[in-house]
């Protein structure tokens, strides 16, 4: 391309104006599966007798993009014509194998379509010089014009497909899930897709194959992990096996209760002095009628303390 493309993020979305002739030149490289051959308006000049007067220099194509990548892209663009935004070409009667891309700018100011067969490429642009709105999209405005032109231009051409380079695998997939097509998949969603060898899907369509194996679980780095079926806890298959959880043992029985040794307290005796003083008269009766008298005693396990004596709470009268 000769047009200067501004350096801004919106450029990735196509927010840049490119003349149609440059777009046709760029797409012709895709149509040649990555082979670059500059466009020419004059190939040779003849006189009125049909004799060739002059001819341009011979230009040989140069492979500027990997053929496998360009074929995968071309195969995707075939879907645009067969079942995408340019499917109107099929409904209008265009039968040859073709690929292409529609385009619609903001507010439908421009509508365009670039489509090509293995032998012919054409571009259609619809718009106004003052950049006013057309109200047309690429599919509704440009595709019908392209179809009428290509039907006339390709009349008599054989219906051949794009050449498949080495390293490409064609696989039938279910376009709703991206998985391998199964006999249960509806025919209208099964398509032929091109993949570079080693990148084709290997899992059957999960939507129409109940017996299809589930995808293996992986961690955040894509490493397969195993699931603990007892507790459904993910474990790393590369780590060593973990030690089993400790088993709790039964608590030991409580020790039997122990009793402190007790000594028998001899019955309280009165002192000899009281016997001498009261030997001649009987002891006075007690006036405490509530509870039996209590005694406070301290016992010793050594047996060295003398026996306790009782103290009356009511002194004699």
How many angstroms separate the CA atoms of 141 and 158, rounded? 27
pLDDT tens for 63-114 read: 999 999 999 999 999 999 999 999 999 999 999 999 999 988 888 888 999 9
The correct CATH number of 15-41+58-153 out of 3.30.1490.100, 3.40.1350.10, 3.40.710.10, 3.40.50.2000 is 3.40.710.10
How many angstroms separate the CA atoms of 114 and 142, rounded? 9
Lowest mean pLDDT among 139-143, 201-205, 252-256, 271-275: 271-275
Q: Residue 306: pLDDT above 70?
A: no
**Long-range contacts, stretch 75-84, CB < 8 angstroms, 24+ apart:** 75/99, 75/162, 75/193, 75/194, 77/30, 77/101, 79/191, 81/115, 83/191
Q: Residue 297: pLDDT above 70?
A: no
- Looking at the whole model, is its pTM more than 0.85? no
Q: Return the DSSP state at 5.
A: P
How many angstroms separate the CA atoms of 97 and 150, rounded? 12
Of residues 124 and 207, more confidence is placed in 124
pLDDT tens for 120-176 read: 999 999 999 888 999 999 999 999 999 999 999 999 999 999 999 999 999 999 988
Q: Which two tokens stand for residue 189?
A: 């969603």
3-class SS at 90? helix
Query: CA-CA distances (angstroms) from residue 113 to 5, 88, 157?
Result: 21, 12, 21
Question: Integer distance in angstroms from the first to the last C-alpha of the chain?
Answer: 137
pLDDT tens for 15-65 read: 778 888 999 999 999 999 999 988 888 888 999 998 888 877 778 889 999
DSSP H helix total and E strand total for the chain:
5, 11
pLDDT value of position 54: 82
Q: Which two tokens stand for residue 298?
A: 């301290």
- Residue 43 near residue 135 (C-beta atoms within 8 A): no
- Residue 173 near residue 181 (C-beta atoms within 8 A): yes
- Residue 137 near residue 102 (C-beta atoms within 8 A): yes
Q: Model confidence at 304, in pLDDT bands (50, 70, 90)? A: very low
| Residue 26 CB partners (closer than 8 Å, separation 6+) | 1
Listed in order, the ranges of the chain carrying CATH 3.40.710.10 are: 15-41+58-153
- Residue 143 near residue 104 (C-beta atoms within 8 A): no
Q: Model confidence at 211, in pLDDT bands (50, 70, 90)? A: low
The dihedral over CA atoms of 86, 88, 91, 97, expressed in degrees to the nearest 10, equals: -20
How many C-beta neighbours within 10 Å does residue 114 have? 27
- Residue 117 near residue 154 (C-beta atoms within 8 A): yes
């Amino acid at each position: 391309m000769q047009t200067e493309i501004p350096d801004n993020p919106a450029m990735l979305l196509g927010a840049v104006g490119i003349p149609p002739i440059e777009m046709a030149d760029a797409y012709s490289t895709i149509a040649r599966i990555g082979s670059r051959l500059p466009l020419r308006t004059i190939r040779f000049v003849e006189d009125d007798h049909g004799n060739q007067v002059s001819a341009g220099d011979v230009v040989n194509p140069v492979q500027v993009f990997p053929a496998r990548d360009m074929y995968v892209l071309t195969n995707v663009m075939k879907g645009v014509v067969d079942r995408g935004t340019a499917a109107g070409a099929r409904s209008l009667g265009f039968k040859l194998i073709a690929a292409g891309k529609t385009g619609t700018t903001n507010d439908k100011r421009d509508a365009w379509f670039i489509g090509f067969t293995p032998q012919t490429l054409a571009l259609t642009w619809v718009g106004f010089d003052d950049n006013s709105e057309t109200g047309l999209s690429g599919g509704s405005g440009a595709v019908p014009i392209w179809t009428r032109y290509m039907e006339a231009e390709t009349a008599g051409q054989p219906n051949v497909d794009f050449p498949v380079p080495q390293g490409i695998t064609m696989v039938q997939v279910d376009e709703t899930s991206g998985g391998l097509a199964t006999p249960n998949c509806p025919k209208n969603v099964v398509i032929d897709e091109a993949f570079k060898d080693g990148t084709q899907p290997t899992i059957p369509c999960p939507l129409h194959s109940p017996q299809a194996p589930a995808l293996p679980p992986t961690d955040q780095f894509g490493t397969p992990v195993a699931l603990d079926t007892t507790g459904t806890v993910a474990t790393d298959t590369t780590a060593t096996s973990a030690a089993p959880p400790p088993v709790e043992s039964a608590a030991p029985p409580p020790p039997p209760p122990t009793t402190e040794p007790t000594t028998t307290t001899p019955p309280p005796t009165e002192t000899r002095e009281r016997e001498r003083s009261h030997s001649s008269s009987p002891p006075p009766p007690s006036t405490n009628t509530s509870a039996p008298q209590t005694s406070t005693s301290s016992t010793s396990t050594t047996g060295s303390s003398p026996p306790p004596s009782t103290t009356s709470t009511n002194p004699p009268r």
